[in-house]
Amino acid sequence: MFKHLLLAALIAAIPVSTLRAVETPPAVSDSATKQALDAFFAAQWERGLRESPENATYNGDKRFNDRWSDNSIQAIGKREAEDRAALEQLRTIDREALAAADRLNYDTFEWQLEHSIAAQRFRGYLQPISHQGGIQTADGIAEVLSFASTKDYRDWLARMAAMPEQVDQAIALMKEGVKAGSVPPKVVMERVPAQIAAQIVDEPARSPFYRPFTRFPDAVPESDRKALVADAQRTIREKVVPAYRTLQAYFNDEYLPKTRDSIAVTDQPDGADYYAYLAGYYTTTDLKPAQIHEIGLKEVARIRAEMEKVKAETGFEGTLAEFFTYLRTDPKFFEKTPEALLERYRSVAKRIDPELVKVFHTIPRLPYGVRPIPDNIAPDTTTAYYMPGAADGSRPGYYYVNLYKPETRPTWEMIPLSLHEAVPGHHFQFARALELPDAPMFRRTAYFVAYGEGWGLYAERLGYDMGLYDDPYDRMGQLAYDMWRAVRLVVDTGMHSQGWSRERAIEYFMDNSPKTRQDVVNEIDRYISWPGQALAYKIGQLKISELREKAARELGPKFDLRAYNDAVLETGSVPLDVLEKHIDAWIAAQE
């Protein structure tokens, strides 16, 4: 999973029922029409960066690094109106005069706008804080800032100074949410007070916002450093900490008591429609929650049978449940310190790198690194995540790993986890998209969850083709991760559409997976707070695997796995239906 809460504004998808019928486009776009389309895309990209300075930061554009998004009700309404106007403007451009590549760009942007406009009804912005992130973890954006010059530090100081306004806007949204009956579940929001408290420090140098000032590059003159440090300490003392005290008072005393006891999104206003919408949004399919639930049950049964075989191969004589307990508890499967765990992750990444040529012809140019998840969010976040590199190549991609409680981080999960989050999973998918020739920026940075997470889960199985699963415990790790995503289909739909309790979901997960309880509880709480997103992984993987089998069957000896994998990535992130049409055309070309 890439760092979703920081990049949520990049995600866009639409149910495939809205896809256009296949048409024969002209060989070359009409010149004037293409110019109009390209100008429209450029203007909309610029609007997106201007309205979301955070997105600009993640894409390596420093122009807006001294500010945050305006999250006032008025500004949100203005952005929504601009989305509606943009869709009207796009539809004035003659799609029929465009060649295939430009039609794909046109259709993709249209889907993004249509989805954004359809989402306006549900007013998701009224819940601006999640236990996995929000204003209380705003310092996290510093992870992707370069801090290469005095101006970079001044920009960060400006963002720090603006925290009171940001907090006020978040509180205003939460108050409006309370009025509208749109509040998150109490069981997950009970994690947030500790996150807010971590921002309230007596000594400014202990603030998470202060980290960049603990070291300076050579490009920052010594004469500037003392002033920067003094300004940082003053800003934290006078702006940042008071702002978080205000947030703490409102959240703990007023908001948390008004959060809801139920966990299902269907208990919110328009909740049933919202969940059905989210299922289509994240999977980019027309599948209904009940259908997805059944797919999950079948996948769980299939993977359990595979686990029984691997258990027998290890010589373990107990039940599968006993084997799970053994995998969760035996000391030989765990590192003793965070430092040793980080070194183990980095060693796994180095082991994977030279094997990539076995499954790809094309290796992306952008490098990646392995970093620990920041301590202030590690207890409440996932096992790992990926942060894409900058669009201009100025920042590599990063694979972030969770070092909190190393006794809960089994080593048998490291290979599939690294294949998914780093290479050839999310890093390949994002880096290859940035290298799309002549594509507009929104296409190079697009992220459809079913494609991206489906690819990440598919990449875990590429470990077999790369010769990485020679140890049966590593193979059990791969099956555990496959099971993890199958279980998601069952428990996400179970909790949000079939009346399951949180406890039932946790126990179902524990019964069918060797993942530790620490991970399982964090995962279940993630599904509660982010309904529908977890459905995309397995649905996307099943489609990519199905297309691979189809290509191998139809091409026979002409099938080249490396060429197939390249073909999947060469579209950039697209809905699954678009990917299927592309692979069908690729098969025909190979034949």
Condensed to tens digits (0 to 9), the pLDDT of residues 275-310 reads 999 999 999 999 999 999 999 999 999 999 999 999
Q: What is the DSSP letter of 403?
A: -
82 and 69 in contact (C-beta within 8 Å)? no
Contact yes or no for 210/287 (Cβ under 8 A): no
Mean pLDDT computed over 255-273: 96
Residue at 257 is within a domain: yes
Residue-averaged pLDDT of the chain: 94
If you average pLDDT over residues 559-588, what whole number do you get?
A: 94
In a domain, 572, yes or no: no
Q: Give 1's pLDDT tier (boundaries 50, 70, 90).
A: low
Per DSSP, the three-state class of 101 is helix
9 has a pLDDT exceeding 60:
no
What mean pLDDT is predicted for residues 343-355?
A: 98
- SS3 readout for 517-530: HHHHHHHHHHHHHC
Instruction: Please give the helix or strand (H or E) that residue 455 lies within, else none.
Output: helix 449-465
What is the structure's pLDDT at 381? Answer: 82
Last-in-domain residue among 206, 232, 264: 264
Average the pLDDT over 226-234 and give the result. Answer: 98
* List of residues 6+ apart from 187 with CB closer than 8 A: 263, 502, 525, 528
Residue where a domain stops, chosen among 214, 242, 264: 264
Confidence of residue 456 (pLDDT cuts 50, 70, 90): very high
For residues 372 and 385, give the distance between their C-alpha atoms in angstroms, rounded to a whole number: 10
Judge whether 269 lies within some domain: no
Residue 16 has pLDDT above 80, yes or no: no
DSSP string, 478-497: HHHHHHHHHHHHHHHHHHHH
Q: By residue range, what is the domain housing residue 295?
A: 277-542
Q: Cβ of 4: how many Cβ atoms within 10 Å? A: 20
| CB 20, CB 98: distance < 8 Å | no
Exposure of 169 by Cβ count < 10 A (0-12 exposed, 13-18 middle, 19+ buried)? buried
Residues 202 and 319 in one domain: no
pLDDT at 23: 63
Contact at 8 Å (CB) between 543 and 580?
yes
Q: How confident is the model over 88-132, as pLDDT tens digits?
A: 999 999 999 999 899 989 998 998 899 899 999 999 999 999 999
Please list the residues that pair with 399 across neighbouring strands.
Answer: 370, 386
Q: Is residue 21 part of a domain?
A: no
pLDDT over 90 for what percent of the chain?
A: 90
List the Cα angle 83/87/93 in 5-degree steps.
145
- 240 with 348, same domain: the answer is no
Do 392 and 521 fall into the same domain? yes
| Contact residues for 467 (Cβ-Cβ < 8 A; gap 6+) | 355, 358
Alpha-carbon span 77 to 99, nearest angstrom = 35
d(CA 66, CA 364): 31
Q: What is the pLDDT of residues 331-340, one digit of tens each?
A: 999 999 999 9
Q: What is the mean pLDDT of residues 351-357?
A: 98
What is the pTM assigned to this prediction?
0.90
C-beta of residue 285 within 8 angstroms of C-beta of residue 450: yes
- 299 shares its domain with 258: no
What pLDDT, on the 0 to 100 scale, is given for residue 376? 84
Are the beta carbons of 187 and 528 closer than 8 angstroms? yes
Distance CA 61, CA 391 (A): 8
pLDDT of 24 over the 80 cut? no
Compute the distance between CA of residue 178 and CA of residue 168 in angstroms, rounded to an integer. Answer: 15
| Tokens 């709480």 belong to residue | 525
Residue 186 in domain: yes
Q: Would the pLDDT of 6 be above 80?
A: no
Indicate whether 451 pLDDT > 80.
yes
pLDDT for position 226: 97
Residue type at position 400? Y
> Among 241, 264, 287, which residue terminates a domain?
264
User: 181 and 326, same structural domain?
Assistant: no
380 and 349, same domain (yes or no): yes
Question: Within a domain: residue 552?
Answer: no
As a whole number of angstroms, the distance between CA 550 and CA 548 comes to: 5
One-letter amino acid for residue 223 of the chain? S
- Mean pLDDT for the stretch of residues 12-35: 67
Average pLDDT estimate for 449-463: 98
Task: Say what the pLDDT of residue 4 is.
Answer: 39
Our count of domains for the chain comes to 2
Whole-angstrom CA distances from 456 to 370, 482, 529 are 17, 11, 22
Asked if 130 and 188 sit in the same domain, the reply is: yes
Q: Contact, 574 vs 452, CB < 8 A?
A: no
In contact, 492 and 531? CB cutoff 8 Å = yes
What integer is the mean pLDDT of 312-318?
Answer: 96
CA distances from 31 to 43, 96, 338 (A): 18, 13, 57
pLDDT given for residue 17 in this prediction: 36
Whether residue 220 is contained in a domain is answered as: yes
> For the chain, percent helix, then strand, then coil, each to nearest 5?
70, 5, 30
Q: What pLDDT is attached to residue 7?
A: 36
Find, among 145, 163, 133, 135, the residue nearest to 236 by Cα: 163
Claim to verify: residue 175 and residue 216 sit in the same structural domain: yes
Same domain, 287 and 257: no
In a shared domain, residues 169 and 117: yes
20 has pLDDT over 70: no
- Within this chain, do residues 246 and 299 fall inside the same structural domain, yes or no? no
Mean pLDDT of 157-164: 98
Whether residue 563 is contained in a domain is answered as no
Q: Tell me the C-alpha to C-alpha distance, in Å, between residue 108 and each of 41, 105, 390, 456.
A: 11, 5, 22, 21
Residues 239 and 289 in one domain: no
